[in-house]
Amino acid sequence: MTPVRSDTGPDLADLRRRAAATLRRNWRGKATVPTAALYPHQWSWDSAFIAIGQAHLHPRRAFAELTALLDAQWGDGRVPQIVFNPAVPEDAYFPGPAFWRPLPRRGGPPPGVSTTGLVQPPVHAAAVLTIAERHPGEATDAAVRRLYPELARFHDYLFDRRRVASGLVGIVHPWESGLDNSPAWDGPLDAVDPGPAHGITGLRRDLRHADAGHRPTDADYARYMAVVAAYRDRGYADDDLPSLPFCVVDPLFCAVLAWSEQALAALARRVGADPGRHVERARELTHQVHTRLFDPALGCYVALDVRTGRAVAKRTVAGLAPLLLPGGHRPVLLDTLAGPSFAAPGVRGVPSYDLTAADADLRRYWRGPTWVNTTWLLWRALLAHGETEHAERLAADVVCLVADAGFREYFHPVTGEGLGSDHFSWTAALLLDVLAREPEDQRWQR
């Protein structure tokens, strides 16, 4: 679709209409799919981002989105990465519901609900607080009272069951990071025996809907499946995490958890609960992120391979996520964000990987392309720290990328080419949020 432009840049009213139409297109009555063909179920952190955008259109639908997700919460507190729609055929997505079974009867999902056994970055409490602050009222207060205990249980699960080195929180699969094939996972995954990889292509449904050059490879998928199978076969138990084939501390996951724990403290105050434990947990995790994960040579934070105890020396967008937190190494991070690794001339948004790295692939998923959700997180961080000029540049990048290429899953950071799937929900949702927060006279031109 050709974007409509005014004399001063993209037609913002047209972009809003198209964003709203994308969210309507992907709404399924209780929740929103990321995009109809490629991702036909409900994804966890997608729903949090989608709710932020839905709140600008239908605040009730925003809370319904999160309620549908939390209705699938496991008895042990985890909020699953995917909630499978029973009306969608088993083979519409790989790996489908059958691959994840058996799910635990005790501590697992509610009866009759099919999910994965993984989690995703816990942006949900921050999303609820964002919506509540922008749309006050009795209905919002009631929704916060209903959602707060479930969000607190999710965080309890992460802090209690996923604790690893020095109080940091670990992930047990690359998919839990949200940055599935990030170069940060290459080293830890190299130690995983993938087993026979033949036949993977025939099982994958993503390659029917997106260019294979934009997606993880079959070799990636073989290892992903081996890691899932090992976790599934032990009943998704979280004891002795280093014995799993993949266990990593991810700076984005930990930063988002600390940020959302701060949001939980604010939500606790709203419902009359004691915020003290949330404040203390956020403070302690923030301290551990700043002291344990920062790499001064790279100018950013890095992942930690729990199995080996070694840091993963890769400069990725995840290593910038601690900008969401107070304190730390903010001046160095700001220099890195504005430097050649992420902001060379002509680059739009924040690339997912170091542009100067020899193994950067600017069209392949999380190995270089710009994504709207991670750019949005850094935009929020810059605004919170008063870095208004830089924040406005990122906002303009998001608007112009979407105006030029449509509501794509991700984008080439230099050419602006739209990549992955089209009609992508969080791209639409977070564009609405950017447009609502930035001044109307912004020219949106580089």
**With bands split at pLDDT 50, 70 and 90, how would you rate the model's confidence at 446?**
very low
Catalytic residues, which ones? 180, 409
Compute the distance between CA of residue 274 and CA of residue 277 in angstroms, rounded to an integer. 7
CB–CB of 83/41 below 8 Å?
A: yes
CB–CB of 120/44 below 8 Å?
A: yes
Task: Give the residue carrying structure tokens 């994804």.
Answer: 43
Is the peptide bond prior to 102 cis by the omega test (within 30 degrees of 0)? yes
Strands (E), 181-306: 248-249, 294-295, 300-301, 303-305
pLDDT tens per residue, range 24-79: 999 999 999 999 988 999 999 999 999 999 999 999 999 999 999 999 999 999 99
For the record, the structure tokens of 427 come out as: 């791209």
Residue 10 three-state SS? strand
Judged on CB neighbours under 10 Å (0-12, 13-18, 19+), 91 is exposed
Residue 439 three-state SS? coil
Compute the distance between CA of residue 179 and CA of residue 208 in angstroms, rounded to an integer. 21
Compute the distance between CA of residue 159 and CA of residue 238 in angstroms, rounded to an integer. 12
Helices 44-54/372-384 angle, 10° precision = 60
436 pLDDT more than 60: yes
Residue 336: how many other CB atoms lie within 10 Å? 22
pLDDT tens per residue, range 307-346: 999 999 999 999 999 999 999 999 999 999 999 999 999 9
Compute the distance between CA of residue 429 and CA of residue 78 in angstroms, rounded to an integer. 25
pLDDT tens per residue, range 251-302: 999 999 999 999 999 999 999 999 999 999 999 999 999 999 999 999 999 9
Compute the distance between CA of residue 144 and CA of residue 344 in angstroms, rounded to an integer. 42
Query: What single-letter DSSP state applies at residue 337?
Result: H
Q: What are the chain's domains? A: 5-437 (1.50.10.10)
Residue 195: predicted pLDDT: 74
For the record, the structure tokens of 353 come out as: 């990987």
**With bands split at pLDDT 50, 70 and 90, how would you rate the model's confidence at 196?**
low
353 pLDDT more than 90: yes
pLDDT tens per residue, range 95-138: 999 999 999 999 999 999 999 999 999 999 999 999 999 999 99
CB–CB of 382/394 below 8 Å?
A: yes
3 pLDDT more than 50: no
> Over pLDDT 70: what percentage of the chain?
91
What integer is the mean pLDDT of 400-406?
A: 98
Least confident of 85-94, 235-244, 266-275: 85-94
Residue 202: predicted pLDDT: 42
The distance of Cα 410 from the centroid of its chain, to the nearest Å, equals 13
pLDDT tens per residue, range 52-64: 999 999 999 999 9
Buried b (16+ CB within 10 A) or exposed e, 297-330: ebbbbbbbbbbeeebbebbbbbbbbbbbbeebbb
9 pLDDT more than 80: no
CB–CB of 168/249 below 8 Å?
A: yes
What integer is the mean pLDDT of 182-201?
A: 80
203 pLDDT more than 80: no
CA angle 339, 343, 346 (to 5 degrees): 140
